[in-house]
């Protein structure tokens, strides 16, 4: 096999990072702006709270309120659409993600990689452009809710095709090239959280802040698309996607011929053309090799999405009083800290990969993350019905969030990196698609589980 060329200026690595950013940026922008969406779901009678000039500050864009008692008394009660928005949004995001990730294992053989990746990016860009335009249009709460959920379904359907295709593509490269995709996905959340905080700090009108927020996402998606188009011109990329696949196909055909010869009784003969027909890849055989890692990544995201953001975003500061901290508590302590340390955890796999792909410690560490469920539920979640508050201080919430985020990013990235490396070269792309499916399965299970966890608090 020819020696691989050098990845000049880390070009392929950086483009994989950019594509990873484009994969999860849409979902993170919708998730961190949930309070903007819920503010538009208020009943018309609630307009008495809005100044006649419509100059609502960007803090209302994200519905960030202090814990001042008088201020709470002035707030109108949440409507049914507002109270169910987070859970329904998560479900509408994760179910299409699961379904289309599953379909991707079929589509990747029938639809070219260019169409799946570039086409998905174009579709996501158009949906975000539509979201920005809708900021300027008045809708009834029910119509706005319905349109928002339809957009979330579309964005996550195309996001699933994009994610599955990217992990399948990265499986053809050395193990370290899955890490930039995971790291880019982690940065997507951090980027969205920073954009949200900037919107609050700007004090701009609701309409202007929301419009700029979604246009920013359009620009990043467009840059990801241009990066992918440039990827095909890089020698390092061409080597692994063309020459290695060709060599793998030759080796697979040769192995199949030898296998058939060994299985035939001596003296039997087969047609040469039949002996040279490669056997179809067995997804079951590949799954047997990677099932521990597949279930591990599934459990990582089941735990994460089960509690974040449906429970974590409802925690209130107990030390803010009348200070500005009450306004920034959830944007900083929930969304920014989670995404920043999740990104750090994903990026850490570029430096160290411990425990190893065959270690029993990896699934043990994954299972240990279940402890975060009761820990968050015992924080100062408001409103609550059943559980007492044992971890009221803001410091407890912040410490738990940091550990929760780092472990999510690091363990998920390890699983995704190791999965395709436990199979043969010609099985790597299918293994990557299987791992992406179980990742999405974890997201979908977590979305459904989130309803129960929020009710139990």
Nearest to 87 by CA among 369, 311, 412: 311
Of 162, 200, 153, nearest to 184 by C-alpha is 162
Given pLDDT bands bounded at 50, 70 and 90, which one contains residue 26? confident
pLDDT surpassing 50 at residue 54: no
Of 57-71, 278-292, 421-435, give the range with the top mean pLDDT.
421-435
φ, ψ of residue 234 in degrees (nearest 5): -85, 135
Average pLDDT, the chain: 81
Closest alpha carbon to 38 in 281, 337, 330: 330
Q: Residue 247 — pLDDT band, cuts 50, 70, 90? A: low
Map out the domains of the chain as residue ranges. 10-233+280-456
Query: What pLDDT does residue 330 have?
Result: 87
Which has more confidence, 279 or 20? 20
Residue 6, both tokens: 């050098």
pLDDT at 262 over 80: no
Tell me the sheet residues that pair with 379: 391
Query: What is the reported pLDDT for 350?
Result: 81
Which pair of tokens denotes residue 169? 């593509």
DSSP secondary structure, 30-90, as one string? HHHTHHHHHHTTS-GGGGGGS-TT----HHHHTT-----HHHHHHSPPPPHHHHHHHHHHH
CB atoms within 10 A of CB 107: 17
pLDDT tens-digit map of 195-220: 878 877 777 666 677 788 888 889 98
Q: Tens digit of pLDDT for each residue in 138-192?
A: 899 999 999 999 999 999 899 888 888 888 788 788 877 888 887 888 788 888 8
Distance CA 426, CA 429 (A): 7
The CA-CA-CA angle for residues 423, 424, 430, to 5°, reads 70
Rounded CA-CA distance 452/429 in Å is 36
* C-alpha pair distances (Å), 361 with each of 354, 366, 414, 421: 9, 9, 12, 18
147 φ/ψ sector (left φ>0, alpha ψ -120 to 50, else beta) = alpha
Q: What pLDDT does residue 49 have?
A: 41
CB burial string 59-80: b at 16+ within 10 A, e below: bbbbbbbbbeeeeeeeeeebbe
Residue 189: the pLDDT is 83
pLDDT given for residue 205 in this prediction: 67
Residue 395 pLDDT exceeds 90? yes
pLDDT of residue 33: 77
* Mean pLDDT value of segment 345-369: 90
Spell out a b/e string for 5-43, using b for 16 or more CB atoms within 10 Å of the CB, else e.
eebeeebbbebbbbbbbbbbbbbbbbbbbbbbbbbbbbe
Q: Bridge partners of 391?
A: 379
Spatial distance between the Cα atoms of 249 and 427, rounded to a whole number of angstroms:
10
Distance CA 184, CA 419 (A): 19
Q: How far apart are CA 336 and CA 332, in angstroms?
A: 5
> Would you give the distance in Å from CA 390 to the centre of its chain?
31
- Given a cut of 70, whether residue 57 has pLDDT beyond it is no
pLDDT at 46: 47
pLDDT at residue 432 greater than cutoff 90: no
Contact partners, residue 181, CB within 8 Å, separation at least 6: 16, 17, 19, 20, 23, 166, 167, 170
Q: What integer pLDDT is reported at residue 259 of this predicted model?
A: 41
The answer, yes or no, to whether residue 47 has pLDDT greater than 50, is no
d(CA 207, CA 194): 18
* Tens-digit pLDDT profile for residues 60-107: 444 444 444 444 444 457 778 877 887 788 888 888 888 887 787 677
pLDDT of 349 higher than 90: no
The pTM of the full predicted model, rounded to 2 decimals, is 0.71
Q: Which architecture characterizes domain 10-233+280-456 according to CATH?
A: Up-down Bundle (1.20)
Mean pLDDT of 315-337: 88
């Amino acid at each position: 096999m020819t020696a691989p060329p050098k990845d000049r200026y880390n070009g392929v690595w950086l483009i994989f990072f950019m594509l990873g950013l484009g994969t999860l940026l849409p979902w993170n922008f919708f998730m961190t702006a949930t309070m903007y969406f819920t503010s538009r779901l208020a009943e018309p009678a609630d307009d008495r709270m809005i100044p006649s000039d419509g100059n609502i500050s960007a803090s209302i864009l994200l519905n960030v309120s202090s814990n001042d008692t008088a201020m709470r008394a002035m707030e109108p009660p949440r409507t049914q659409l507002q109270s169910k928005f987070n859970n329904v949004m998560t479900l509408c995001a994760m179910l299409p993600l699961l379904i289309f990730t599953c379909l991707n294992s079929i589509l990747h053989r029938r639809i070219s990689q260019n169409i799946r990746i570039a086409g998905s990016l174009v579709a996501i860009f158009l949906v975000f452009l539509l979201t920005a335009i809708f900021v300027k249009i008045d809708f009834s709460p029910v119509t706005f809710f319905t349109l928002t959920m339809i957009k979330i379904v579309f964005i996550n359907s195309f996001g699933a095709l994009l994610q599955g295709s990217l992990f399948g593509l990265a499986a053809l490269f050395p193990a370290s090239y899955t890490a930039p995709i995971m790291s880019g996905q982690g940065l997507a959340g951090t980027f969205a959280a920073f954009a949200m905080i900037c919107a609050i700090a700007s004090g701009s009108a609701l309409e202007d802040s929301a419009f700029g927020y979604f246009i920013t996402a359009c620009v990043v998606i467009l840059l990801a698309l241009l990066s992918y188009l440039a990827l095909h011109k890089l020698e390092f990329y061409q080597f692994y996607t063309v020459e290695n696949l060709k060599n793998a196909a030759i080796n697979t055909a040769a192995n199949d011929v030898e296998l058939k010869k060994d299985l035939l009784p001596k003296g039997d003969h087969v047609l040469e053309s039949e002996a040279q027909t490669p056997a179809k890849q067995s997804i079951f055989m590949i799954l047997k090799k990677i099932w521990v890692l597949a279930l591990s990544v599934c459990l990582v995201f089941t735990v994460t999405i089960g509690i974040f953001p449906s429970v974590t975003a409802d925690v209130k500061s107990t030390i803010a009083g009348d200070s500005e901290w009450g306004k920034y508590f959830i944007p900083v302590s929930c969304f920014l800290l989670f995404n920043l340390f999740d990104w750090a955890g994903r990026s850490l796999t570029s430096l160290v990969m411990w425990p190893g792909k065959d270690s029993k410690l990896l699934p043990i560490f994954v299972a240990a993350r279940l402890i975060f469920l009761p820990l968050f539920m015992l924080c100062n979640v408001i409103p609550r019905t059943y559980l007492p508050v044992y971890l009221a201080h803001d410091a407890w919430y912040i410490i738990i969030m940091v550990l929760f985020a780092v472990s999510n990013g690091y363990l998920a990235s390890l699983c995704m990196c190791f999965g395709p490396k436990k199979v043969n070269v010609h099985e790597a792309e299918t293994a990557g698609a299987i791992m992406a499916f179980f990742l999405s399965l974890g997201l979908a299970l977590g979305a459904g589980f989130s309803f129960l966890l929020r009710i139990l608090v």
